[in-house]
Amino acid sequence: MKALYRPHGSILCRLALFMVCFFFLPVSLVQAQTIENLKAELEKLSQKHGYANDTLYLNKANDLGFMLAESNPDSAFVFLDKQIEMCQKADYKKGESDALKIYGNALQNKGEFAASIDYYKRSLAIAQDMPDDRLIPGILNNIGLVYFNLGNYAEALGNFFEAIKGAEQTGNLNVEAAALNNIAMIYFEQGKLEEAKTKYQEMLVIYQKMGNQGRMILAYNNLGDVELKQNKPLEALDHLKVGHASALALQSPEFIEMTARTLADIYVALDSTDKAENLYRQSIAIAKEKGYGVPYSHSLVGLAELYYGKGNYQEARLYANEGLEQANKMKQAMQQRNAHELLAKINERQGDFEEALANYKLFKQYNDSINNARGQRLAATLEAEYEFSKKTLEFEKASLRQWWLVFSAFIGLFTFLIILFIVYRNRNKLNKAFLVLKEKNVEIESKNEKLENALDQLRSTQLQLIQSEKMASLGELTAGIAHEIQNPLNFVNNFSEVSKDMIAEIEEERAKSDEVRDESLVSEILGDVLQNLERIHQHGKRADAIVKGMLEHSRTGKGEKILTDINALTSECLRLSYHGFLAKDKNFKVDFRTELDPGLPKANVVPQDLSRVFINIINNAFQAFSNSEFIPDRDRDHNSELKPLVKVSTMKNGDNLEIRVSDNGPGIPDAIKDKIFQPFFTTKPTGQGTGLGLSLSYDIVKAHGGELKVNSIFGEGTEFLINLPYL
């Protein structure tokens, strides 16, 4: 995650110092001036004045030290040692505090976090002794950044919230926005993505008000990172395109490296591996040239992930080890975690299971240290204390104004003491309530984790069952098509064979002499051949119609509604369903018939979806006669009215079409009638049904604005009624 933080030594870290840690230099001026300009100005000042006690010169020298720390940290240390000594001789406390802070920035850019904390604390001690406390919030924020990169989230959050409170009191929008950004980054690492996104949006609003283009790039970049983590790569890509274009326009290598690295992560999620590889290499080149430690490690590990995805494990292992080496130099926990996780997967693929286990243990160690429960609990605690302190401060200000206006000095003092007592008592109550709430939250989180695991298992089972239902439907449909098309093909084959024999008879008759040849017989046979050809043509067209109908039925598309002949669709589904059962059981004997309204108007429906509904319901009707479990004892063989029958009828009813599928089967017992539309409920034998057919049919009819109902009398039969709007 990109943020206003120093410890990574990346552009992001550099931006943190640029915006948060050192505010004596305006952003526009930093962008406009070069190191050469500053050196020239210092030379002029040294010639014009004795610079030992000249605060103007010392401030300008700190500007130069800042630029050196950002562009080439190694070159800044000697200069800053001299600058600190000069400020001490001049007894210029503000300049000394700034110089110590810049020294800490340079150390962070080098990835030397533990060393930088000492310089920041020395800078803070001087700032706290000064009457002007505007320097304190920025220093606190930088200290928080160091702790963040050392994996100590508790200390980091404490400093960030203190920085925000100080920034609000001093009106320092830069520090407020930067601290919001850094808190968001911790939320991101803890998986609180919506909270992180909210903080980044607050930060973006502040920078938009300030018109700060560079910080807006950073905000867009960080929002993109959150959206990528939320599995919204297209939204993330929109934000990063804006940020990357702005970075190129500013010709800033820091911003270009940052946005290129995040764009690479997004293109990996979108499977655009070539684009991702080019952007990772661009980031690596800039980071290596400028000495940005963490971005260099991040992009190396990202490139290794890319090669791992392509199956090039040797290259992946090479880049992962290089990224890990860089992360170890800086003791940067997040990149150490990522590199060890990837190496464990590579080792496993290469069969080196002992090394894989060792890397996985290290990954688990770093991951646990980053996401420790204390940091998460403290985040909520400190934020609540921060909000409470704001409200308390506002209340005290309002009370103080009222005291001066209404009461005398004595009564006002007494009232103030009462208010303090009430605030103290309320604070104790709130603290007790908060402790109880914290315990409840831990309990709720534990239960939520169990529920989420159960939900994941349920979703996995659902997907398997839905796929099983689709495959079962496909098998039945295929059997129906094969059996349906077999009839016209049999006729074609039979008439072809007969016609062949007839032509042989004609040839035999023609071979006779004119005296014995029977011309009338030849004419008769030719007439029969002509009739056979007409029947072959007729059944060929029938087979062609079946194929065209099934192609239309199975054609994939976007599920668009079209005007459809419901009569034709139901008839075709009825025949396919019947022949599907006949294909599975040659002894299957169930009559079927249709009663279709010839004046039925066409309906605006998705034919592929609706045919699935018809086939599911008609299949259930035929299935009723093969499921003996619910068939009552009655004599169907000697009573024609009780012979197995499935009937499909259609009619117009006002603005709706009615499609009825009925059977005189065993009916549905009252005990299960209310359950048949429930997902996964089935009366079929184990392994023969998923219980999703009627549930999916119900949802499809609802999606068409219609209604699916069932009427059934146990022992007499069942009727499904489908109401569909045709307008």
Read off the pLDDT band of 290 (50, 70, 90).
Answer: confident
Quote the mean pLDDT of the chain.
80
pLDDT for the residue 126: 92
Q: Which residue has the higher pLDDT, 80 or 559?
A: 80
Cα dihedral sign for 47, 48, 50, 55?
A: negative
Q: Which amino acid does the sequence have at 266?
A: I
Of 102, 133, 153, which residue is a domain's last? Answer: 153
pLDDT for the residue 663: 93
Average pLDDT over residues 155-173: 89
Average pLDDT over residues 584-590: 84
- Residue 580 has, within 13 A of its CA and on its CB side, a CA count of 23
Angstrom CA distances, 640 to 631, 634, 636, 644, 696, stand at 17, 12, 7, 9, 35
C-alpha 715/C-alpha 89 separation (Å) is 107
Read off the pLDDT band of 32 (50, 70, 90).
Answer: very low
Does residue 618 fall inside a structural domain?
yes
The CATH number of the domain holding residue 15 is 1.25.40.10
Cα dihedral sign for 350, 354, 360, 362?
A: negative
pLDDT for the residue 570: 93
Pick the closest to residue 520 from 508, 506, 535 (CA basis): 506
Angstrom CA distances, 390 to 90, 159, 382, stand at 39, 17, 12
The CATH number of the domain holding residue 666 is 3.30.565.10
C-alpha 225/C-alpha 99 separation (Å) is 33
Q: At what angle do helices 173-189 and 136-149 cross, to 10 degrees?
A: 20
pLDDT for the residue 29: 37
Question: In the β-sheet with 717-725, what is the strand arrangement from edge to edge?
Answer: 591-595, 645-653, 656-663, 717-725, 707-713
Of 119, 153, 187, which residue is a domain's last? Answer: 153
Read off the pLDDT band of 634 (50, 70, 90).
Answer: very low
Reply yes or no on whether the pLDDT at 399 is more than 90: no
Beta bridge partners of residue 719, listed in sequence order: 662, 711
Average pLDDT over residues 583-601: 89
Read off the pLDDT band of 630 (50, 70, 90).
Answer: very low
Read off the pLDDT band of 506 (50, 70, 90).
Answer: confident
Does residue 81 fall inside a structural domain?
yes
Does residue 83 fall inside a structural domain?
yes
Question: What is the domain count for the chain?
Answer: 2
Does residue 683 fall inside a structural domain?
yes
Range scoring the smallest mean pLDDT among 34-43, 251-260, 610-619:
34-43
Average pLDDT over residues 344-368: 88
Q: Which residue has the higher pLDDT, 181 or 475?
A: 181
Q: Could you write out the DSSP letters of every residue in 186-206?
A: HHHHTT-HHHHHHHHHHHHHH
Read off the pLDDT band of 661 (50, 70, 90).
Answer: very high
Range scoring the smallest mean pLDDT among 106-110, 234-238, 722-726:
106-110
Pick the closest to residue 619 from 686, 573, 668, 669 (CA basis): 573
Angstrom CA distances, 379 to 161, 204, 270, 483, 546, stand at 10, 22, 33, 68, 67
Reply yes or no on whether the pLDDT at 594 is more than 90: yes
pLDDT for the residue 719: 95
Pick the closest to residue 303 from 288, 316, 287, 290 (CA basis): 316
C-alpha 467/C-alpha 469 separation (Å) is 5
Range scoring the smallest mean pLDDT among 46-60, 97-111, 331-345, 431-445:
46-60
Indicate yes or no: pTM above 0.75. no
pLDDT for the residue 19: 37
- Residue 57 has, within 13 A of its CA and on its CB side, a CA count of 17
Pick the closest to residue 215 from 180, 265, 261, 167 (CA basis): 180
pLDDT for the residue 688: 59
Burial class (CB in 10 A: 0-12, 13-18, 19+), 687: exposed
Of 94, 125, 153, which residue is a domain's last? Answer: 153
Q: Which residue has the higher pLDDT, 384 or 693?
A: 693
Range of the domain at 48: 1-153
pLDDT for the residue 452: 85
